[in-house]
Amino acid sequence: MANNNVRKPENSDISEETPPSEFTDLMYGISKFVFLCGMPNYWPRNLHYNVTVMKYYSLFSKIVHSPFVFVVVLQYMSFFTEQQLSAKQQSDRVLYCITHPFFGMSVVWGFYRQELFADITHDIVVTLRQMYHDTEVDKAIVKKLVVFTTVYKIGALAVVPAHGCEMLYQVIVYGDSFTCLATAWPLVNDRSVWAEFGRAAIYTMWFFFILKLSGIYLMTMTLTMCLSHQYLSLCSYFINLPILFESNEDIIIKEKKYEKAFKYGVKMHAETLRCALKAKTAFGVPYTGQIIINTIVFVQILTHVVQAKEVNVAALMPILASLFVCLMATGMFMCNAGDITIQAAKLPSAMFASGWHMCSGGAMVRMRSLVTIAITQAQVVPTIYILLLCKILADRANFVSWFLFLDVSYSTFKNNAKF
């Protein structure tokens, strides 16, 4: 039966302007949020901000970000100068000293590959949608993006303030200093005015740094989800090609229309594949950094369990909550990347079911060869690599990768823990 929500293949026009839609509006809003986080403008066109405001805001974000490199250096120096830290502060210092370089690598990568990220956004929002889009697929991706971005924004904006509230509680109740990051200066026991000013400055720079990191990860995961749904839309295109044979026109005319439409679908697949190759280059570094960081955090959380002075429900609840968030975050990253593979793997079947068997004579011979070549190319599904070694796959393989992450994390913890 024909799908009324699908634009007919023969009416596709790559030259027409992309009409406004809920999807493009949502992507525009995400791009604005990422820019406000301090990352570059990844939107294909200019954002609706004053040019002067954008110029000075970009300069401000770079100025705020640059001194954080000095803060990271101070963190490493604190191993030689700061000896008054609690067990938790020492554990956090090790964690931050390991993770901050990976975080910084992802942020710098977002600036260095600005044009590549913007090009991928243009392909998904403009080029591929001009060629073809399924309204049902659009509705599905919009719902998914709304839920994901809402939860992600709340979490991203709450991380540093929540840590600040914890430090403020320590200051009010126990009289400790407001030390969010252990650095060579100011020392924990330094209560001078300049020391308090330095702690406030470090906390502010850390806040903007985490905002930038949240921006690049939000853009990476958003484009990943959009690309997986682009393959879903491409499958919808081929599955609906048999509609062309339902008309009362002469069979020769229908065969010509089908052949033209199938070649157009192959062209769309080539454009999608080109976009996927760009994504493979752009997303590899952020995903690599995040998986490594999650492994380190997982080991750190297990260490906190061993070092806990009191083993009761109240003491274990925060640790278990952190463990749950770490596992879910890792699963979310892996599954979103793996969705590209699993949706792309459905494309050969969609091409085979596109109706080529309804052709006859010379058209059958031509289409059989064309479909064979197209299916062969479609069977080479895109994958994202971690450290150029481990693939992020989909379906069953993705769960195996997730359990491999657990096994590596626990093995590392077991080999280094002292019971």
pLDDT value for 121: 95
Q: Helix, strand, or coil here: 186? A: coil
Instruction: Categorize the per-residue pLDDT at 132 as very low, low, confident or very high, splitting at 50, 70 and 90.
Output: very high
Is residue 5 assigned to a domain?
Answer: no
pLDDT value for 336: 78
How many independent structural domains does the chain possess? Answer: 1
- Scanning 113-192, the segments in alpha helix (DSSP H) are 114-122, 128-131, 135-174
Is residue 293 assigned to a domain?
Answer: yes
Is residue 6 assigned to a domain?
Answer: no
Under the phi-then-psi rule, with left for phi > 0, alpha for psi from -120 to 50, and beta for the rest, what region is 387?
Answer: left
In this structure, of 117-131, 176-190, 208-222, 313-327, the range with the lowest mean pLDDT score is: 313-327
pLDDT value for 293: 79
Say how many C-beta atoms besides its own lie within 10 A of residue 287's C-beta: 23
In the block, tokens 């019971």 appear at 419
Residue 47 DSSP label: -
Instruction: Categorize the per-residue pLDDT at 330 as very low, low, confident or very high, splitting at 50, 70 and 90.
Output: confident
Instruction: Categorize the per-residue pLDDT at 3 as very low, low, confident or very high, splitting at 50, 70 and 90.
Output: very low
Which residues have a Cβ under 8 Å from the Cβ of 23 and sit 6 or more positions away? 125, 129, 138, 141, 142
pTM for this predicted structure: 0.85
Instruction: Categorize the per-residue pLDDT at 34 as very low, low, confident or very high, splitting at 50, 70 and 90.
Output: very high
Q: Domain range for residue 388? A: 14-416
Q: Helix, strand, or coil here: 386? A: strand
Is residue 3 assigned to a domain?
Answer: no
Mean pLDDT of 207-231: 92
Instruction: Answer whether residue 175 shows pLDDT above 50.
Output: yes
Instruction: Categorize the per-residue pLDDT at 229 as very low, low, confident or very high, splitting at 50, 70 and 90.
Output: very high
Instruction: Categorize the per-residue pLDDT at 389 as very low, low, confident or very high, splitting at 50, 70 and 90.
Output: very low
pLDDT value for 266: 95
Q: How far apart are CA 308 and CA 244, in angstroms?
A: 68
As given in the structure block, the two tokens for residue 44 are 């294909």
Residue 180 DSSP label: S
Is residue 408 assigned to a domain?
Answer: yes
Strand pairing category for 384-386 and 390-392: antiparallel
C-beta separation of 140 from 21 below 8 A: no
- As a whole number of Å, the end-to-end CA separation of the chain is 65
Mean pLDDT of 332-347: 82
More confident residue, 406 or 217: 217
- Scanning 240-360, the segments in alpha helix (DSSP H) are 251-307, 313-344, 347-352
Handedness of CA 291, 293, 297, 303 (dihedral sign): positive
- Scanning 175-250, the segments in alpha helix (DSSP H) are 193-239
In the block, tokens 């590959």 appear at 113
More confident residue, 235 or 21: 235
pLDDT value for 318: 61
Instruction: Answer whether residue 29 shows pLDDT above 90.
Output: yes
Is residue 208 assigned to a domain?
Answer: yes
Instruction: Categorize the per-residue pLDDT at 56 as very low, low, confident or very high, splitting at 50, 70 and 90.
Output: confident
Is residue 140 assigned to a domain?
Answer: yes
pLDDT value for 315: 57
pLDDT value for 394: 38
Say how many C-beta atoms besides its own lie within 10 A of residue 415's C-beta: 7
Mean pLDDT of 155-161: 81
pLDDT value for 44: 83
Going by C-alpha positions, the residue among 213, 222, 210 that lies closest to residue 146 is 222
pLDDT value for 16: 42
Q: How far apart are CA 186 and CA 195, in angstroms?
A: 5
pLDDT value for 350: 95
As given in the structure block, the two tokens for residue 94 are 């090790």
Is residue 7 assigned to a domain?
Answer: no
Mean pLDDT of 355-367: 90
Instruction: Categorize the per-residue pLDDT at 215 as very low, low, confident or very high, splitting at 50, 70 and 90.
Output: very high
pLDDT value for 122: 94
